[in-house]
Structure 1
Amino acid sequence: MGKLTADAIVDRALRVGDAEGLDAVTIRRLAADLGVTPMALYWHFKNKDQLLAGMADHLIAGFAPGEPGDRSWRERLREVMTGLIRVLRAHPCAKSVLEQVDQMTVPNFLAVWDEALGLARSAGFTVEESCLITKYLLQSAISIADAPVHFTACDSPEVVAEFVRVKRLGLESLPAATYPNLVEMAGPMIEVSPGLYDTFGVDLVLAGIEALADRR
C-alpha cells in the first residue's frame, strides 16, 4: 500500500467503530486491517486518546465554521445543529467518540463551540445563557439523532416492519376511553418520518432560542 496517512487511519477507525463499536477500535486492530505494524500507527497517534481526538476532529470537520458571509446568527446556529445531527446520523460511533474524547484536544470541536458561543452572544444572550445554549444544542442534537424512530442499517425491512407492527398494535390495544389520544395517534407515533422528525426537532429547539432572543 502507499504511504500511511493519519486520514487513512482515522477513516478505518470510524469504519470499525461504526460496524463494531468503539471498543473494537484499537491500534493493533487497525494496524492489522491496514496491513502495517502497530509502530506505523504510533507515528501518527501515540495512544487511543490521540486517535479519538483525530476521529472527533474528522467527524466535525464537515460542518466546522467557515466564512459567515451575510448569514444571520439564526441561520448559522441552525447550520451548527443540523451539521452535528448529520454527523451523528452518518456514524453510529460518533456519539461515543464525542462523549469519550477530551474536547480540548479537538480543534474543530473548539471552533464550532466557539462559534456557537459567539452566535448566542450576538443574539443578545448573557455569557451564562450563551454557555447554557451551547450545552442544550449539543444535547438536543444527540437526542434527536439517537431517537428510536430511526433504525440502523443492520435492521432488515422485515425486522423494522415487525417492530413497527408490534409497537403500533400495542398502542391501538390500549383502552380508548382511558387513552383516547394515544389510540388515535398510534400510527404517526410509531411511524414518524425521519426527515420530519429531524427538521421539526431542530425547528422546535431553535424556535425557543429565537423567541427568547426576540424578548431582549
Structure 2
Amino acid sequence: MGKLTAQAIAERALEIGDAEGLDAVTIRRLATDLGVTPMALYWHFKNKDQLIVGMADHLIGGFAPKPADERPWQAQLRDLMEGLIRTLRTHPCAKNVIEQIDPVEVPNFLAVWDQALRLARTAGFSVEESCLITKYLLQSAIAIADAPVHVRPGKELAVRAKRLGLQSLPTETYPNLVEMAGPLVEGMDPELYDTFGVDLVLSGIEALAATR
C-alpha cells in the first residue's frame, strides 16, 4: 500500500467499529488489516485513546464548517446539526466515539463547537445560553440519529404484537394511541424523522432568539 496516513488509519478503524463495535478496534487488528507492523501505527497513535481521538477528528472533519460563511445564522446552525446527524447515521460507531472523547483534544470538534457558539451569540443569546444551546444541539442530534426509524430484522412479530396491543386499547379512553399505533411502533421515513426533528429543535431556538 502507499504511504500510511493518520486519515487512512482512522478510516479503517471506523470501518471496523461500524461492523464489529469499538472493542474490536485495536492497534494490532488495524496493523494486520493495513498490512503493516503495529510500530508503524504508533508513529500516528501511541495508544487506543489517541486513536479514538483521531477517529472523532476524522468523523467531524467531514462536516466541519468553512471559516468564512455569510449566510444567516439559522442556515449555518442547521448545516451543523444536519451534518452531525448525517455522520452519526452513516457510522454506527460514531455515537460511541463521540461519547468517549474529550472535545478539547479534537481540533475539528473545537471548530464546530466554536462555530455553534458564535452563531448562538449572533442570534442574541447570552454566554450562558449559548453554552446551553450547543449542549442541547449535540444531545438532540445524537438522540435523533440514534432512534430506530425502521423495524429491525427479526423484530417484525414483536412490533406487530405491540401495534395490535395499542390498537386494542379502548378507543374512548385512548383515541390517539389507537389511531397512531402504526407509526408509533413501526417506524417512519428516516428523512421525515430527521428533518422534522431538526425543524423542531431549530424552530425553538429561533423563537427564543426573537425574544432577545
Give the structure-2-normalised TM-score: 0.94
Deviation per CA, 1:23-55: give whole Å up to 9, x if none: 111101111111211111101111111111110
Q: Are 2:199 and 1:211 aligned?
A: no
Deviates most, 122-131 or 172-181: 172-181
Which residue in the other structure is 1:133 paired with? 133
The CA distance in 2 between the partners of 1:15 and 1:40, in whole Å, is 19
Q: Which ranges of structure 1 fall in alignment gaps of 5 or more residues?
A: none
RMSD (Å) for aligned C-alpha atoms: 1.5
Distance 1:150 1:116, change over 3 A: farther
Deviates most, 186-195 or 120-129: 186-195
In the TM superposition, what is the alpha-carbon distance from 1:102 to its structure 2 partner? 1.7
2:170 to 170, 175, 187: 175
Distance 1:72 1:163, change over 3 A: farther
Which residue in the other structure is 1:55 paired with? 55
SS in 2 for 1:215: coil
Contact residue 68 and residue 76 of structure 1 kept, 8 A: no
SS in 2 for 1:169: helix
Which residue in the other structure is 1:188 paired with? 183
In the TM superposition, what is the alpha-carbon distance from 1:180 to its structure 2 partner? 1.4
Which residue in the other structure is 1:45 paired with? 45
Deviation per CA, 1:96-155: give whole Å up to 9, x if none: 00000121111000000000000000100000000000000000000000112246xxx5
Deviation per CA, 1:159-203: give whole Å up to 9, x if none: 364454233222212232322110111112233221111100000
- Matched to 1:76, the amino acid is Q
- Matched to 1:81, the amino acid is M
The CA distance in 2 between the partners of 1:210 and 1:171, in whole Å, is 36
SS in 2 for 1:64: coil
Identity %: 74
- Matched to 2:16, the amino acid is V
SS in 1 for 2:147: coil
The CA distance in 2 between the partners of 1:209 and 1:19, in whole Å, is 36
Distance 1:68 1:74, change over 3 A: farther
Q: Which ranges of structure 2 fall in alignment gaps of 5 or more residues?
A: none
In the TM superposition, what is the alpha-carbon distance from 1:212 to its structure 2 partner? 0.4
Deviation per CA, 1:30-87: give whole Å up to 9, x if none: 1111121111110111111111111001100111011443310000000010000000
Contact residue 77 and residue 119 of structure 1 kept, 8 A: yes
SS in 2 for 1:9: helix
The CA distance in 2 between the partners of 1:89 and 1:46, in whole Å, is 29
- Matched to 1:123, the amino acid is A
The CA distance in 2 between the partners of 1:68 and 1:167, in whole Å, is 50
Which residue in the other structure is 2:117 paired with? 117
Number of aligned pairs?
211
